[in-house]
Amino acid sequence: MPAILPSERKSELLLRMKNTLIIENFRISLNSIRSHLLRTILTILIISFGIMALVGILTATDSIKYSLTKNFSMMGSSTFTIRNRTLQIHMGDGPNKEKLFEAISYKQASEFKEKFIFPGYTSVFVGATGIATVKFKSNKTNPNVRVMGTDENYLFTSGDEIDKGRAFTVDEVNNGNNVCIIGSEVVKNIFKNKEDPVGQVISIGPGKYKVVGVLKEKGSSIGFSGDRSCYIPISNVRSRFSRPNMSFSINVMAKNQEQMDACIGEATGLFRTIREDPAGSDNTFEITKSDNIAKMLIENLKYVTLAATIIGVITLFGAAIGLMNIMLVSVTERTREIGIRKAIGATRRVIRNQFLVEAIVIGQLGGLLGIFLGIMIGNVLSLVIGSAFIVPWEWIFGGVFLCFVVALASGIIPAQKASTLDPIESLRYE
């Protein structure tokens, strides 16, 4: 076994001494924290509230983003909608830039469906009312059920699925039969005795309809429930829910994502011809991809994220001042202890590191508590809107880093003050 050279032995001893000092600083810091428990708890709570506000709101916004993306992408990335108005989602008191074009008539929508031969599905639909009351025997819903007129292809293009029963047939759509497909929430509200909905006759507004299908439950997104809906044949809506300037919409689903741009181009050209838009003029209709709504809403959430960041930073700034004050008080209270440690050989660097470690430990304890509370509070909203449990890893690491910076910034002045105390004056303190 080779002999250890003096220089190597010296390096090994220095490394051991450094490790011992680090461990000793942690031990002294923990003892100081325990001896001033109430003061430490208050400081930890101040720091944790700042991190909780930051992580909690950002976790909630991540939950909303996940829910929006999930719900609006259910139609698929290869689906788009043609309607007579632009889609604008804005927050605050800014001007509404929504453009409204001439209504799309049933004749125009039907002509498009007939002539559009691109591989995929085409569906025509229209909103009948959003305040319908649905009844079965003595049970009825609140007047908040959305009724839509659809054709036989609507379920393919909307992302809806049948749980029980079947979809509409072509004959039912063309003849305007009194049949309907209802959502799961409607089923729960009117079939309270667990009757099989399929085949039952229910009242939707003033008319009676036979239930031929029940939609699979989709859940709600930020307060809007897709399960509180009734679909009836579009020809039936034209006769029973007719109104002036009723505008129809068209869903188009390409067979695969690679053909999406070509499909949009083909649809635009055909519908411009049907609408008789002059060459060189703008379209008199709007084409919206299925995931555009989610993107618009997520874009507006940046204001919430900014507000959360400002709130968190302000709270953390207050926490930094509180932590610095506590550390300065701690230096004053432990002046005699500092003098004794200097008298037995502790250097300025050792004393400074001792107080820095103490500030960092308090900061990290507050950060960990704030991160835990923030994740829990943020996921309360996730539970309410039916989103997934979100763990914002980037904000967890960001929170730990912020707490480290806050502790370092607020601990450096008290630590420097402690390291520069005169040992003789410190021993004579008190």
Is 407 within 8 Å of 364 (Cβ atoms)? yes
Q: Considering the chain, what percentage of its residues have pLDDT values greater than 90?
A: 26
More confident residue, 353 or 291: 353
pLDDT for res 294: 62
Place of tokens 């060459």: 279
The pLDDT of residue 93 is above 60:
no
Instruction: Tell me the DSSP string of 168-232.
Output: --HHHHHHT-SEEEE-HHHHHHH-TT----TT-EEEETTEEEEEEEEEPP--EETTEETTSEEEE
List, for residues 18-38, the tens digit of each pLDDT value.
Answer: 666 667 767 777 777 777 778
Residue 222: per-residue pLDDT: 45
Average pLDDT over residues 77-92: 70
The predicted model scores a pTM of 0.60
User: What is the residue extent of each domain of the chain?
Assistant: 24-69+302-427, 79-288
Average pLDDT over residues 42-47: 81
pLDDT attached to residue 232: 95
Reply yes or no on whether the pLDDT at 147 is more than 80. yes
Nearest in space to 386 (alpha carbons), one of 227, 197, 214: 227
| Mean pLDDT to the nearest integer, 56-83 | 72
Assess contact for 252 and 51: CB atoms under 8 A.
no
Strands 120-132 vs 286-289: parallel, antiparallel or unpaired: unpaired
Q: Find the DSSP H helices in 276-430.
A: 292-300, 302-333, 335-343, 348-384, 393-419, 423-427
Q: Which range has the top average pLDDT, 6-15, 28-37, 192-201, 288-297?
A: 192-201
Encode pLDDT of 387-404 as tens digits.
667 777 877 887 788 888
pLDDT band at 159 (very low <50, low <70, confident <90, very high): confident
CB 238 within 8 A of CB 90: no
Q: CB–CB of 39/326 below 8 Å?
A: yes
**Residues 198-240: tens digit of each pLDDT:** 999 999 988 899 999 999 887 654 445 568 899 999 999 998 8
What is the percent of the chain with per-residue pLDDT over 70, rounded to a whole number?
81
pLDDT of residue 181: 95
pLDDT for position 237: 92
Mean pLDDT of the chain: 80
What average pLDDT does range 317-328 have in this prediction?
78
Written as one letter, the residue type at 93 is: D
CA pair distance 221, 331, nearest whole angstrom: 53
DSSP state of 258: G
Does 149 score more than 90 pLDDT? yes
Q: Which of 72-81, 118-127, 217-226, 392-401 has the lowest mean pLDDT?
A: 217-226
